[in-house]
Amino acid sequence: MEGSLATVKILDAQPNERYHLYRTSFSSNSFEKIATTTSSQFSDTEVDPSAGSYCYYVKTENSCGQISDASNSVCTIYLKGRGRTLQWNSPFPGHSNLIQYKVSKIDAPPTDVSDWQYAERFTLPNQSKSNDTYRVTASITIEVNGQVVTTELYSSLYELIDLPGIYPPDVFTPNNDNINDTWVISSYLIQTFQLKLFDRSGVEIFTSDSLSNSWNGLLPDGSQAPNQIYTYVINATDFFNENWQQTGKVLLLK
């Protein structure tokens, strides 16, 4: 995969050879011939790799007209996500244990968000934001004509959309003026919620298992909490059944 195109590269190409290319889509197991070329590189402009994975194999025809058996198949890497969890397919079916992957956020330049790994799955960190775009790089070392060659392939792009979030205010003022009197935490796509709030000594002073149960600035004994900075720990589950933990501080100011 090169950019937004599915590109087949023939690493062991020789002069005076012709290449017969065959393709199958992610929704079919039937390969069909799509092209014959003398070039060692072919870009398939008739497919959209962002819609799913496409697999290819090649038959080589030499100068005498003899056609080889089909090569091993190679597939475009289709990157998909569910919340912060990314998943993708192996570009070389049956050889997954030889391939390493890393996940990068597409910036200028791209920023790696994972180390090299063998798993075809990765959970993005909590700092990930909606509209962040990611790509997976696959690296495999193979032997070509007696030489060891390391080659890299790139996945389709994945953009985070509708990412769950938790939004605690930084300050609130419980002074009974009916303005910002309670610490109301808002959220998006959150299914379960648990909050623990601590004073500066580390004493737990408030808990809640519902976003509708907001802190009104009172201590457990019913007295007014003093002006100070309080710390919180939020554990939540989103609608993708992924766990979130968020920590921070809130200033009570009367």
The model's pLDDT over 118-145, given as tens digits with 9 standing for 90+, comes to 999 999 987 788 889 999 999 998 777 7
The mean pLDDT of 16-39, rounded to a whole number, is: 92
Distance CA 43, CA 63 (A): 24
The mean pLDDT of 18-32, rounded to a whole number, is: 90
pLDDT of residue 131: 85
pLDDT tier, 147 (very low <50, low <70, confident <90, very high otherwise)? confident
79's tokens: 């990157």
Q: Is pLDDT above 70 for 161?
A: yes
162-185, pLDDT tens digit by residue?
777 899 999 999 999 999 999 999
pLDDT of residue 164: 79
Q: Is pLDDT above 60 for 1?
A: no
Residue 11 to residues 21, 40, 99, 201: CA-CA distances in angstroms?
A: 14, 7, 17, 64
pLDDT of residue 96: 66
Whether the CB-CB separation of 138 and 77 falls below 8 Å is answered with: yes
pLDDT tier, 28 (very low <50, low <70, confident <90, very high otherwise)? confident
Residue 2 to residues 25, 41, 77, 135: CA-CA distances in angstroms?
A: 17, 11, 10, 12
Residue 64 neighbours by CB distance under 10 Å: 6
DSSP at 254? -
Whether the CB-CB separation of 230 and 198 falls below 8 Å is answered with: yes
pLDDT of residue 160: 86
Cα 73 off chain centre by: 25
């003093």: which residue's tokens? 226
35-83, pLDDT tens digit by residue?
999 999 999 999 999 989 999 999 999 999 999 999 989 999 999 988 7
Q: Which of 105, 163, 106 is nearest to 114 (CA)?
A: 105
Query: Which residues, 6+ apart, have CB-to-CB distance to 54 below 8 Å?
Result: 6, 23, 24, 25, 26, 44, 47, 75, 76
pLDDT of residue 184: 96
| CB half-sphere exposure, 241, CA atoms < 13 A | 0
Q: Is pLDDT above 80 for 11?
A: yes
Distance CA 172, CA 212 (A): 16
Residue 197 neighbours by CB distance under 10 Å: 20
Q: Which of 102, 45, 44, 104 is nearest to 74 (CA)?
A: 44
Distance CA 68, CA 10 (A): 14
pLDDT of residue 61: 96
Residue 147 to residues 13, 72, 87: CA-CA distances in angstroms?
A: 14, 18, 32
The mean pLDDT of 5-17, rounded to a whole number, is: 89
Q: Mapping DSSP to helix (H, G, I), strand (E, B) and coil, where does residue 21 land? A: strand
Q: Is pLDDT above 90 for 95?
A: no
Distance CA 85, CA 78 (A): 14
Q: Mapping DSSP to helix (H, G, I), strand (E, B) and coil, where does residue 38 land? A: coil
pLDDT of residue 206: 98
182-228, pLDDT tens digit by residue?
999 999 889 999 999 999 999 999 999 999 999 999 999 999 999 99
Residue 164: what residue type? P
